[in-house]
A and B are shown apart, each in its own frame.
Chain A
Amino acid sequence: MAHAGVLGSASGGGVVNPWDDLVAAAVQGTARRPMDPAAWPSPLGPIATALRGDPAVRLLDAAAAATILRRAGSRSRDGSSAGTFVAAADSRPEVWWPVTSVLEEIPSLHAVFRDAMLELVVTRVAVAGQRFPHRWLPFLLDAAIARVALRDPVMRVAGDRGRWLAEQNPSWQSLTPPTREPPAAATFPRDPVPEWAQWGVADKVAALRAWSADPRLAESAALEVLLEQALDDRSPKVIAQAWSALRTRDRSAFAERAQNRLLAALTVRRGLLRTTVSVTLPPATTPADHRDGYPDTPLRTTAAQRDHLAKVAGEAPMSAWEDLGGPALLRAQFSDGGTLGDGGAWGSIVRDALLTRMSQEAAAGWVPGKEWIQALTAGSVLESGPVLGWLAPHLTEPERIRTARALLTEATVPLGNQPSHAGLNRALAALRMLASLPHPWPQQVLRDVTAALPQLARLGRYGGIGDLVAPIVLGEPVERLGPLIGLLPTLPDPGGVLESAVRVVHHRQTLERELPL
């Protein structure tokens, strides 16, 4: 920026840099380290040499001259190599300002609406073949980075200018990935054992993570051998990654060991009226257990026994549960088998572990049979959000509607004078069940939900009310929302979620007016 080599900070070749000399003398003090202007080049050297008097004052006068020369002598740098990236022109028309206002207000909405509203508005603009003012691109790209679900709609509306911008910023570059073959299968060695021991911990963890996530290696015996070998690694990180990978492989030796532990712990007896299960745990874990991730702890205390049972139940593959009796276990009566305490508590542990395992298996592609569905929709297990998350898509539409309406009816039966939290949980379960229904919902369902809201909203501090109204105000046709919009302002709304719901409806009206489909 300054006269290079004369006043700037760079020095070299044995020539004294005046500015560096000045600053060094000022920092150390001219009483200890005077400046040496005789060695300075022109123009500052002669100026400073001509100064007389107190060395400190001379330094300040020379520095004043240098400062003005540095500032007034500012020069630009050649930027020929920096000017090669110019975005292509975006010929799409810019949206009218009311639509930009909708975008602008999204951050001020309650969190429960933000992502869905953003997806709604960007999709609508993209479908209309329009674009937002370019200054909104950083906001949109940040949102797409934060939420995977927003990536496609955001990148559609961002257009060429958005892709150009994303390529400039390392934080956004993952939004414009180059298309290439995933390398994991290609790089997985057929016989990895000889080199594996020499790999670093980070490389081992990264490789195990990549290989175990690759569906083409799901049946690979070589990978299983490697994962078993990794269980004996010295690094806890490598071992943890191996556990994580092995527990997803249903027909592995690891799964077989997990199945054996479950069968040893639970004894099932099928009666005429109901199935009973007794639980028996060993007095302590074995070295084989430790290798599979169980802590080296005597199972004497109730807490240790509970943890152990939860792990045994959670690690067992679905095939093990099928062998034990499948859906009947969800309604089974548990006993302590003579060694444990309260059988009901063990039943909860086993059921929770089973439900969690089912969610994980469903995410990996397991499809529940009809008996499982009957068992799951019949009982209170439906109030468990994770179950509904994966179960609903496996139900037919009439099954979903019937189940949801039944849950809503149960939800609004008051217990004494107070609405019950269990009721709210049932209402939320109903909404989760309905969430996967295409809009518009049957009129009767919408009426049921609207009728249930006042009672549910009486639990003022309960934030889940937003989850109740969000799918409705975001998904139902605007013209059907009149009764709901009339009702919401009359309900308790300490978190401002209902006020946001009303604004969402107004925003949707704006979008329909400005960007008609």
Chain B
Amino acid sequence: MAVASDAASQTAARRLAAGAGWAAEGASEQAVWGSCSGSGKVPYQVVVELAGPAYTCTCPSRKFPCKHALALLLRWSAGSVPDGEPPSFATSWLQSRRRREQGAATRGQASKGGKVLAEPDSAAKRAAQRATRVAGGLTELDRWLADQVRNGLTGLQSGGYSALDQMASRLVDAQAPGLARWVRSLAGVLASGPSWPAAMVEELALMRLLISAHRDLAHWEAADPDFAATVRSHVGYPMAKEDVLARPPVTDIWDVLAVRDEELENLRSRTVWLWGRDSDRAAVVLSFAAAGSVLDGSLTPGTAFHGGLHFYPGAGQLRAVVDQSRQPVGFRQPVPRRTEDALDRVARALAQDPWTRSVPVIIAAAPVPRPGTSDRPRWDLLTAENQLVPLHPSAGQPWGLAAESGGAAVTQLVEWTPGGWRTLAFWGVPAVVAS
């Protein structure tokens, strides 16, 4: 369901997948197909090519993939679709894709051979159309933001989730899914407690900053392509995995430091944090799976490999894809940095990407409850240099970590976030800090 453009599509797809309107379903190693009864007389014909994945459907929805394609994938992943031979509508679509791919490969080879071929008109046209749509959506969001501040944030509170959802839906239509997700997440800010207005001002202001940066995207493309890529990434421009793999890898010995699994509705996600020994660079590898499916287990904390990571474009980008060729080597516990160095790293990351919500750093610290008699105190991290930084409230009562540290600073991979610091992994030996 990670491919769904929004939550509404996910919900609709789940409902559709459980329904009885499916016929002529089948699956092969390459594709899955089926017919789904809709509001019209003729059922919609849906095909999903699994390698991409790529989708086609005869329904009129502008969402991509549409709910029918998502529902078909859900049924297939649940084992409800039998194996079979593709019908003519699936065969013809798959063949046309093959032809297009072959044509693109030929053009790519010609380009590598030194001949510069003109971009196909259609691709340029699609890009221009998308840019126009995104710009329109962002202009509308800009007006909406100003309206909230002009009329007062209390109005936003009384408007509730539906007002946010309405704005987010417009951004989905404008092909700005990153901003759409962000707008939806404001519901959580509204419910975050008494200090929600300050948190809301931060979020709206950073959205406004992103809109301004996007307005000058052409300038940034020329002046600072990395920053331009950061802007595009936060707005939600798509980035194909093959395009990421085509970028030059950062080759290093990568220690796998931490892993975190999360489950949201029917989607499981795994985040793996790595650290490059020579590059001193942090990386994050994401993988997704449907609920009940197995997540990628190829990166295990406490292991290391020599190989390349292809980073997504963008300034200070953490997300990367692991190159297929990698050699296992022995794991080495990371060396913590001084508190000031860690804070400087955070500041540099924010200078490159003001919208980032996560900056991993390695420090030596122990969790300490704030003085008082409360059974559930707030906690800080006390670093080896006797400096305090606040733990994120989601850390709860980290007594397990306190027991491991015994009050002494231990090496930790921590994540700076706007709400506080979060421990991602720790190594329970009193740490020696790198000078």
Contacts and interface: CB of A to CB of B under 8 A. Distances in A.
A87 B406 contact: yes
- Top-4 shortest CB links A-B: A29-B152, A87-B406, A63-B205, A76-B387
A63 B202 contact: yes
9 contacts: A1-B389, A68-B350, A74-B346, A76-B339, A76-B343, A78-B386, A82-B388, A87-B408, A170-B373
B403 A67 contact: no
A148 B373 CA distance: 23
A83 B204 contact: no
A165 interface: yes
A359 B209 CA distance: 76
Interface stretch (A18-26, A263-271, A477-485, A497-505): A18-26
Contact of B343 (A55, A74, A79, A137): A74
Interface string B389-413: 1100000000111111011100000
Listed residue (A28, A80, A83, A86) with the most chain B CB atoms within 10 angstroms of its CB: A83
B152 A27 contact: yes
Given A19-B198, A79-B386, A79-B388, 15 more contacts: A22-B201, A26-B153, A63-B202, A64-B209, A68-B209, A68-B354, A72-B351, A77-B388, A78-B387, A82-B380, A82-B382, A135-B400, A161-B403, A169-B369, A169-B375
A87 B418 CA distance: 32
B9 interface: no
Contact of B408 (A25, A59, A86): A86
B428 interface: yes
> For A27, A60, A89, A168, which residue has the most chain B Cβ atoms within 10 angstroms?
A60
Measured as residues with beta carbon below 8 angstroms from the partner, the interface class of chain A is 35 or more
Interface in B148-207: 149-155, 197-198, 200-202, 204-206
B150 A29 contact: yes
Given A60-B208, A63-B205, A76-B343, A138 B403 contact: yes
Interface in A72-117: 72-80, 82-83, 85-87, 89
Given A71-B418, A79-B368, A87-B406, A60 B145 contact: yes
Contacts of B368: 79, 82-83
A379 B408 CA distance: 63
A171 B150 CA distance: 48
Contacts of A284: none
A284 to B, nearest CB: 50
B206 A57 contact: no
A32 interface: yes
Contact of B386 (A27, A80, A161): A80
Contacts of A72: 346-347, 350-351
A85 B209 contact: no
A27 B416 CA distance: 28
B146 A171 contact: no
Contacts of B369: 168-169
Interface of B: 145-147, 149-155, 197-198, 200-202, 204-206, 208-209, 212, 339, 343, 346-347, 350-351, 354, 368-369, 371, 373-375, 380, 382-383, 386-390, 399-404, 406-408, 416, 418, 428
B150 A56 contact: yes
Contact of A55 (B150, B339, B351, B402): B150
A25 B205 CA distance: 13
Contact of A30 (B149, B154, B390): B149
Contacts of A22: 201
Given A68-B354, A72-B346, A28 B152 contact: yes
A158 B147 CA distance: 59
B403 A165 contact: yes
B197 A134 contact: no
A55 B339 CA distance: 39
Contacts of A289: none
A27 B399 contact: no
A171 B373 CA distance: 10
A234 B420 CA distance: 53
A85 B354 CA distance: 38
B403 A134 contact: yes
A188 interface: no
Interface in A1-41: 1, 9, 19, 22-23, 25-32
A56 B209 CA distance: 13
Contacts of A54: 146, 150
Contact of A29 (B151, B354, B371, B416): B151
B347 A87 contact: no
A170 B375 contact: yes
B315 to A, nearest CB: 14
The secondary-structure label for the interface of chain B is: helix
A491 to B, nearest CB: 34
B402 A59 contact: no
A25 B351 CA distance: 27
A307 interface: no
Nearest to A88: B406
Contacts of B339: 76
A248 B286 CA distance: 67
A79 B373 CA distance: 19
Nearest to A60: B208
A321 interface: no
B375 A32 contact: no
Contacts of B206: 64, 67
Contacts of B374: 170
A399 interface: no
A441 interface: no
B382 to A, nearest CB: 5
B205 A64 contact: yes
A170 B389 CA distance: 23
A164 interface: yes
A300 B158 CA distance: 62
Contacts of B408: 86-87
A464 to B, nearest CB: 36
Contacts of A30: 149-150
A152 interface: no
B349 to A, nearest CB: 9
Interface in A148-178: 161, 164-165, 168-171
A512 interface: no
A61 interface: yes
B205 A60 contact: yes
Most buried by A among B152, B209, B403, B416: B403
A124 to B, nearest CB: 21
A31 B152 CA distance: 8
Contact of B202 (A67, A134, A164): A67
Contacts of A171: 375
Contacts of A64: 205-206, 208-209, 354
B149 A29 contact: yes
B362 to A, nearest CB: 15
Contacts of A62: 205
Contacts of A66: 205
A161 B399 CA distance: 12
Given A32-B152, A61-B208, A168 B201 contact: no
A59 B149 contact: yes
B406 A161 contact: yes
Most-contacted residue by chain A among B152, B339, B343 (CB, 10 A): B152
A159 B7 CA distance: 51
A141 to B, nearest CB: 8
Contact of B154 (A27, A60, A169): A27
A135 B209 contact: no
A69 to B, nearest CB: 10
Contacts of B208: 57, 60-61, 64
A140 to B, nearest CB: 10
A135 B386 contact: no
B366 to A, nearest CB: 8
A138 B151 contact: no
A137 B403 CA distance: 7
A158 to B, nearest CB: 9
A134 to B, nearest CB: 4
A85 B407 contact: yes
Q: Which of B146, B201, B399 has the most CB of A within 10 A?
A: B201
